[in-house]
Amino acid sequence: MGSPRRSAAGEADELCRLVTAVACGSEEAFASLYDALTGPVYGLALRVLRNPAHAEEVAQEVLLEVWRTAGAYRPERGRVMTWVLTVAHRRAVDRVRAVQAAADRESRVTWQEPAPCDCDSVAETVERELDRERVRSALAGLSDLQRESVVLAYYGGYSHREIAEYLAVPLGTVKTRIRDGLGRMRAAFATHAV
């Protein structure tokens, strides 16, 4: 029985070999690559989108993009799984933005009769919106690396270990980025409270 590190390296080498074959037009290699990547790509898309139908569509788009752009993959820039999951994450975020934009357009076009004034719910709505703005402002004050880790942890629902694997950095680095980022956010909230 091989060590997990050796089997992970073997899996990475096999994915690299498959991408190289796909870049040369091998449909058989693509079928094997598809089988290896479908689960992780769909899982990531589902975590971001929280909608199985959208997640399936994004997974299909990502795997089609892998087929079309396999020749662009460069092993020296990272592992195949990291490359593909980065593409998947970007596609899923793009889908979230597209769905939100469509909903915003629809709500602007659709006329709705104003609801009767419920002062408590109005105050709660205003308070929630202020809280959201404080969070956005605090996130904007983080470094790109801290923001990425915090967003993956708290909005993406990833564990520290999953983030480390996704970003291909040590677990301790992820924990430090999140700890430091949350500390900076806490300080930003304290500044706004004064």
For 124-164, how does the pLDDT look when each residue is reduced to its tens digit (9 = 90+)? Answer: 777 777 777 777 778 788 888 888 888 888 777 778 888 88
pTM above 0.75, yes or no: no
CATH number for 151 = 1.10.10.10
pLDDT in tens, 106-115: 776 655 555 5
Question: Cα-atom radius of gyration of the chain, to the nearest Å?
Answer: 21
Residues 35 and 88 in one domain: yes
CA 109 to chain CA centroid, nearest Å = 30
Range of the domain at 172: 116-194
Number of domains comprising the chain:
2
Whether residues 4 and 97 fall in one domain: yes
29 with 67, same domain?
A: yes
Question: Are residues 1 and 84 located together in one domain of the fold?
Answer: yes
Give yes or no: residues 24 and 106 share one domain: yes
Half-sphere exposure of 65 (CA within 13 A, CB side): 17
Residue the block writes with tokens 């898309």 = 45
Last residue of a domain, one of 69, 87, 112: 112
